[in-house]
Amino acid sequence: AGTGRRVAERPVEDRAGGQLLLLKDRLVVADGEARMSCLRLEEGLGVIWTSSVPGLVGSPAPGDGMFFAACASPPSVVAFSGVNGARLWQAPLAGEPKTGPIIRGDLIAVGTTAGLQALEMAAGAVVWTFPCGEASGLLAGDPACIGATAGSELVLVSWEGKELFRRKDVAGGLSPMLCGETVMFFTPNTLESVEVASGAVSRLLGDTKWLGRVTTPAVVVDSRVYFATEKKGLVCAKPM
């Protein structure tokens, strides 16, 4: 990463999804149309194991010595052994998955066409479902809550499945950014934030329309916000 020098390479099938999960000593990649491979980083991307994953949605997520993947065929979450890639369990979802899984403690959350769904990590038992319409973009999560966009609506839900905040007329398909006690999100023309506890909303950037349509979620580095737009490419802004 320091020099940009190519260290190793591995072919990926044309119809592969290409989703990546980078860990300390491993790389998990969807390198086939229905295949997920776990590779060693320090041995020229040598294969540790491969597993069949039909219709992988989003990136897999690690937890407690396992990997979890959202699959479209059939709509489900699948748990794989981190040691050999063996399938440990498969749990059906209430709708087709639209996001990859995120994890907190022993819970797995996924966004589907029906809303949000949480499963137990041990065996995939359903803990709760939260109907909010079809989730889009990436699912965001921190120790306090889960953030998702459903159409043009922002929804914040606790890990217990309780609604914390809801806001219409946001920019669809862009996941919110969870920043501790506040959450940042785009509307079609502004960048705003909300305090989760009070629901108080603040405007961080007053006019983003002239930059063109925002195409990526925001990232905060050293008190500055970075995001990409159709017209200007990468944008760095200092919030108000």
- pLDDT tens digits, one per residue of 185-206: 999 999 999 999 899 999 999 8
- pLDDT tens digits, one per residue of 218-233: 999 998 999 999 999 9
In angstroms, the first-to-last Cα distance of the chain is 33
Mean pLDDT value across the chain: 93
Question: Cα separation of 19 and 26, whole Å?
Answer: 14
Q: Using 50, 70 and 90 to split pLDDT, how confident is the model at 5?
A: confident
Bridge partners, 234 (sequence order): 228
Q: What is the pLDDT of residue 2?
A: 77
pLDDT at 136 over 80: yes
Q: What is the pLDDT of residue 140?
A: 93
Q: What is the pLDDT of residue 182?
A: 92
Q: What is the pLDDT of residue 119?
A: 98
Residue 26 sits at the vertex; the CA angle it makes with 23 and 29, to the nearest 5 degrees, is 90
Q: What is the pLDDT of residue 8?
A: 84
Q: Using 50, 70 and 90 to split pLDDT, how confident is the model at 138?
A: confident
- pLDDT tens digits, one per residue of 28-62: 999 999 999 999 988 789 999 999 998 999 999 99
- pLDDT tens digits, one per residue of 59-82: 999 999 999 999 998 999 999 999
pLDDT at 88 over 80: yes
In this structure, the strands spanning 233-237 and 153-158 are: unpaired
SS (H, E, C) the chain: CCCCCCCCCCCCCCCCCCCEEECCCEEEEEEECCEEEEEECCCCCCEEEEEECCCEEEEEEEECCEEEEEEECCEEEEEEECCCCCEEEEEECCCCECCCCEEECCEEEEEECCEEEEEECCCCCEEEEEECCCEEEEEEECCCEEEEEECCEEEEEECCCCEEEEEECCCCCCCCEEECCEEEEECCCCEEEEECCCCCEEEEECCCHHHCCECCCCEEECCEEEEEECCCEEEEECCC
